[in-house]
Amino acid sequence: MSENIGYEISVGLEVHAELKTKSKIFCGCPAGFGGEPNTQCCPVCSGMPGVLPVLNKEAVRHAVMAGLALGCDIERVSVMDRKNYFYPDLPKAYQISQLYKPLCKNGRMEINAGDTKKNIRIKEIHLEEDAGKLIHDEIGNRTFIDFNRCGVPLIEIVTMPDMCSSGEVREFLENLKNILEYIEVSDCKMQEGSLRADVNLSIKDKGCPVLGTRTEMKNLNSFRSIIKAVESEALRQRKIIEQGGRIIQETRRWSDADGCSYPMRSKEEAHDYRYFPEPDLNPIIINDEYIREIYEMIPELPNNRARRYSSEYGLSDYDSRMITSSKKLADFFERTVTKGADPKKAANWLMGDYLKMHNDGCEDEPVFRFSPEGLAEMIQLIKDGRITGRIAKDVFEKMYTIGGTPRDIIKKDRIEILSDTETISNVIKKVLAENPGAAEDYKSGKAKAAGFIIGRVMRETGGKADPVMVKDLIIKQLTDI
Ligand code: ZN
Ligand code: MN
């Protein structure tokens, strides 16, 4: 809504992240994605009468770690509640969640908002179970149910309505995904549905201290649709207000195909769910020692890592942020530096050639078919003048697509480095004859002219000449004349 000066949008998110535990939250079934439908379930997670849930300790640990990484207070006593509603993907007809006493409260996350930093407040993080999956068969007009996802542990991260643009929403989600990946509590694979967001959005006059009426859009599962949904909903609300209408508080369904949202139902309130404390589970009671133990296991988080890259390796803020925007990429970078590579060179290769090819390939996660040693070796080969920058680019492309070390690729593809004195000298003679002006310039003291001649010689040899030799031979020829 950047074109609109008079209104301001307020967005709050409810983000569901599946926890990466081996088993489900209240039974021993595997919690992993995939598997034939209805093969990863038991009487507990398929809601048979008379069964009892047993809380998975690992799910609590994961949730506490997420809470600590997001600056939350961890409640020493928290309670699971029943949220009652009927829907075919919920065989018990209630979801075990937390309403009155969630596990984590009052967190925050710093995001970049334009040139400044901004804190997005996190109201709470609660622990709950996932529902099953409905698979609609449009042609046969039937719906199938897969209970494998029932009972997969989730954390729901609830923010305050502190985001004022789709850009801030994106920043928040990217940071959140990154942090959850760093602490290894969630895979955050949006295409597998392990990270989904509900978007609450309202608009108000700029500077007005009171929020407008909000709508909610549920279960968006890609960054792209979240951003589009925010922008389109803001526009829809603005149009209504400008035409003198009123916003109705409701839940809306976002359609990616149509690029707009449709009313689904009027907004439900907490009391509609008849929440009550889950009678089959004890309160979760944890102590300081437990929290400290988890706190000490939190690895260096992306923001701190980025700061360290700037101070330790002299990378720019932007470069540090880009590299640390994925734990996999940052780990790879650090190992390359450990193998002796110049940090700035390593960063350039990863952020330039590597990310370009990676983004073209549309792969979700960074994939490396070559090793940090391989990249370090290539940087060294260039430094030693063994290969030219141009050849290095070809070699790197092979490393990216097929894998292997630069030495192997050079050998296998018979990439020749032209280091034959006579051949190079002949090319230099030709270039000097064609550019008498440059030779004159050099002799009259313009050192820059040598660079021009080097460039021409490299071009003539298709970038294959050994650049160190070229330079030496040019200076020799020019001073000999
Ligand atoms: Zn089960
Ligand atoms: Mn929820």
Tracing tokens 């295409």 back to the chain, one arrives at 191
User: pLDDT tens-digit profile of 399-431?
Assistant: 998 888 888 888 777 776 777 788 888 889 999
State the first-to-last Cα distance of the chain, in angstroms, to the nearest integer.
67
Distance from residue 460's CA to the centre of ligand 2 (Å): 64
Q: Is pLDDT of 1 > 60?
A: no
Ligand nearest to the CA of 91: 1
Distance from residue 14's CA to the centre of ligand 1 (Å): 26
In the prediction, which pLDDT does 416 show?
63
For 323, residues 6+ apart whose C-beta sits below 8 A from its C-beta are 306, 309, 315, 329, 330, 333, 347, 350, 351
Query: Which of 128-137, 275-284, 323-332, 443-452 is predicted least confidently?
Result: 443-452
Ligand nearest to the CA of 131: 2
Distance from residue 45's CA to the centre of ligand 1 (Å): 4
| Residue 111 burial class via C-beta count within 10 angstroms: exposed 0-12, middle 13-18, buried 19 and up | buried
Distance from residue 205's CA to the centre of ligand 1 (Å): 50
Average pLDDT score over residue span 69-73: 98
Helix (H) / strand (E) element for 216: namely strand 215-220
Distance from residue 93's CA to the centre of ligand 1 (Å): 16
In the prediction, which pLDDT does 5 show?
61
Distance from residue 176's CA to the centre of ligand 1 (Å): 29
Distance CA 338, CA 346 (A): 11
C-alpha distances (whole Å) from 48 to each of 43, 112, 208 are 5, 48, 51
Average per-residue pLDDT for the chain: 90
Ligand nearest to the CA of 83: 2
Highest averaged pLDDT of the listed ranges 74-78, 114-118, 459-463: 74-78
Ligand nearest to the CA of 273: 2
Distance from residue 401's CA to the centre of ligand 2 (Å): 41
Q: Is 402 helix (H, G, I), strand (E, B) or coil?
A: coil
Query: Which of 98-102, 189-193, 195-199, 280-284 is predicted least confidently?
Result: 189-193
Distance CA 247, CA 201 (A): 11
Distance from residue 187's CA to the centre of ligand 1 (Å): 21
Distance from residue 150's CA to the centre of ligand 1 (Å): 8
Average pLDDT score over residue span 12-21: 97
Q: Where is pLDDT greater, at 252 or 271? A: 252
Distance from residue 28's CA to the centre of ligand 1 (Å): 6
Distance CA 267, CA 251 (A): 5
Characterize 159-187 residue by residue with b for buried, 16 or more Cβ atoms within 10 angstroms of its Cβ, and e for exposed: bebbbbbbbbbbbbbebbbbbbbbbebbb
Distance from residue 142's CA to the centre of ligand 1 (Å): 25
Residues, Cβ < 5 Å to ion ligand 2:
156
Ligand nearest to the CA of 92: 1
Q: Where is pLDDT greater, at 458 or 309? A: 309
Q: Is pLDDT of 122 > 90?
A: yes
Q: Quote the pTM value.
A: 0.81
Distance from residue 54's CA to the centre of ligand 1 (Å): 10
Ligand nearest to the CA of 31: 1
In the prediction, which pLDDT does 2 show?
45
Q: Is 285 helix (H, G, I), strand (E, B) or coil?
A: strand
Ligand nearest to the CA of 158: 2
Highest averaged pLDDT of the listed ranges 265-269, 352-356, 464-468: 352-356
Instruction: Read off the tokens for 383.
Output: 């430094």
Q: Is 232 helix (H, G, I), strand (E, B) or coil?
A: helix
Instruction: Read off the tokens for 5.
Output: 């000066």
3-state helix, strand, coil in the chain (%, to 5): 40, 20, 35
Ligand nearest to the CA of 99: 2
Distance CA 366, CA 401 (A): 13
Ligand nearest to the CA of 150: 1
Distance from residue 22's CA to the centre of ligand 1 (Å): 12
Ligand nearest to the CA of 40: 1
Of 286, 227, 229, 255, give the one whose Cα is nearest residue 101: 286
